[in-house]
Amino acid sequence: MALLEIDNLTHYFGGLRAVGDFNLHLEEGELVGLIGPNGAGKTTVFNLVTGAYKASEGSIRLNGAELVGKPPYVINGMGISRTFQTIRLWNSMTVLDNIKVAHHGRVKYNLLDMFLVLPRYRESEREIEAHAMELLRLFKLERHAHEPARNLPYGEQRRVEIVRAMASQPRLLLLDEPAAGMNPGEIGSLMEFIHWIRDEFKLTIWLIEHQMRLVMNICERIKVLDFGETIAEGTPAEIQNDRKVIEAYLGEEVEGV
């Protein structure tokens, strides 16, 4: 059984068929790309998988368990986490608090423990804080721990978002345009970074990206969407030579916004 199985996933916004008959099976440890012109429906697929929207039709299963209809926090707790196309940190909170809140699923105390600061509360808080700090250290962000998230430079904020996604110890990480707004140098290190995350945390990674250099270099498999429909699927080499893909991208003017 694959880690994630998506079958016949379809979603409508009113009359708009944003995603049509989407199928994908992700194996444990894979690094897969999802590309397509702006408005193709890529982010919508992520939103369906993470429970932000409820799929109109089709099925999404994680290790065989159905996800459609489950609320986002449950899906997150089951092991899927993500970043956003435009950064959605909790801006006025410190970086550390951003990471800590993403540990909500691991809170082991009840209100009474909390109001009375009982041992169970302190134990659980200590554990969460330690894990959050360890993540920040691993991602070399600890010196920003007590700064409000909004004070960080853009690139660092993107990294914090990834760390925050790691807080719930996901088995599948969804990255929505991680390279958006980065210069070529930064993209180079991002590629190493993504590889490192996968190996360090033994993760499966599925990413949306416009930067072809990144996708072609690191993804093992790529799926191409256009107007919600899958137009191609295969290895980077196959995709690069696919006529339909080239056509779809010729219509595209602005990249990576």
Partner 1 sequence: MFADLNLRKRWAAVTMPLREQLRRIPTLSYLVGLFAAVVLEQAVGKDFAQNVLDFRRLPRFFGIVDIFEPFGNLDFSGVLAPFFPSPTGLTQTPVQDAGNAIGQLVTDFVNALFYQGPRDPGFFSVFLRVLVYDVVVFVIPTLVVALLVGWLLTHLLRGLPGWLIVALNVAALYTVVALWGGDGGTRELTLVYMGINIMLAVSLNLVNGYMGEFSVGHAGFMAVGAYVSSILTMWFFTDTTIFEGAPLVATDSGVVLVVGFVVALVAGGVAAALAGLLVAFPSFRTRGDYLAIVTLAVNFIVQGVLNNIEVVGGARGLNGVPLWSDLQWVMILTIISVIIIYNLVNSTYGKGIIAIREDEIAADLMGVHTRQVKLVAFLVSSFIAGMAGGLFAHALAYVNPGMFGILKSTEALVMVYLGGMGSISGSVLAAVIFTLLVEALRPLAILKWVVIPLILIFLMLFRPQGLFGFREIKFNLRGGESAAAAQEAGDGTA
Partner 2 sequence: MDATFIQQFFNALQLGSLYALIALGYTMVYGVLLLINFAHGDIFMFGAFMGVLGSWVFGWGFVPTLILSMLATALLGVTVERVAYKPLRAASRLSAVITALAVGLLLENGMLALTGADPRKYPDDFFATQVYQIGSVSISTVKLLVIILAFALFVALFLFVRRTKWGMAMRAISYDKFAVPLMGVSQDRIISLTFAIGTGLGAAAGILWGVAYPASLDTYMGMLVGWKAFIAAVVGGIGDIRGAVIGGMILGFVEIFVPYWGQGIGVSSTWRDPVAFALLLIILVIRPTGIFGVARRQKV
Residues near partner 1 (CB under 8 A): 50-52, 71-73, 76-77, 81-82, 84, 88-93, 97, 100-105, 107, 109, 111, 114-115, 117, 121, 124-125, 128, 164-165, 167-168
10-69: contacts with Mg ion (CB under 5 A): 43
17-46: contacts with partner 2 (CB under 8 A): 43
Contact 228, 221 (CB under 8 A): no
Rounded to a whole number of angstroms, the minimum distance from the CB of residue 256 to Mg ion is 11
The token pair that represents 15 in the structure block? 């009359």
Select from partner 1, Mg ion, partner 2, none the partner in contact with residue 53, using the beta carbon and a kind-dependent cut-off of 5 to 8 Å: partner 2
Is 52 a binding residue for partner 2 by CB under 8 A? The answer is: yes
Cβ proximity to partner 1: between 44 and 50 the closer is 50
Cβ proximity to ligand ADP: between 18 and 78 the closer is 18
Rounded to a whole number of angstroms, the minimum distance from the CB of residue 11 to partner 2 is 12
By CB under 8 A, name the one of 19, 22, 42, 47 that touches partner 2. 47
Rounded to a whole number of angstroms, the minimum distance from the CB of residue 158 to partner 2 is 17
Residue 69's Cβ-count burial label (10 Å; 0-12, 13-18, 19+) is exposed
76-105: contacts with partner 2 (CB under 8 A): 84
Rounded to a whole number of angstroms, the minimum distance from the CB of residue 13 to ligand ADP is 4
Cβ proximity to partner 1: between 131 and 195 the closer is 131
Cβ proximity to partner 1: between 4 and 219 the closer is 4
Cβ proximity to partner 1: between 167 and 207 the closer is 167
Per-residue 3-state assignment (H helix, E strand, C coil) for the chain: CCCEEEEEEEEEECCEEEEEEEEEEECCCCEEEEECCCCCCHHHHHHHHHCCCCCCEEEEEECCEECCCCCHHHHHHHCEEECCCCCCCCCCCEHHHHHHHCCHHHCCCCHHHHHCCCHHHHHHHHHHHHHHHHHHHHCCCHHHCCCEHHHCCHHHHHHHHHHHHHCCCCCEEEEECCCCCCCHHHHHHHHHHHHHHHHHHCCEEEEECCCHHHHHHHCCEEEEEECCEEEEEECHHHHHCCHHHHHHHHCCCCCCC
Rounded to a whole number of angstroms, the minimum distance from the CB of residue 245 to partner 1 is 30
Rounded to a whole number of angstroms, the minimum distance from the CB of residue 66 to partner 1 is 18
Of how many residues is the chain composed?
257
Select from ligand ADP, partner 1, Mg ion, none the partner in contact with residue 211, using the beta carbon and a kind-dependent cut-off of 5 to 8 Å: none
Q: What is the bridge-based pairing of β-strands 172-176 and 80-82?
A: parallel
Rounded distance between C-alpha atoms, residue 128 and residue 148, angstroms: 19
Q: Tell me which residues touch partner 2 (CB under 8 A).
A: 43, 47, 52-53, 84
Q: Tell me which residues touch Mg ion (CB under 5 A).
A: 43, 85
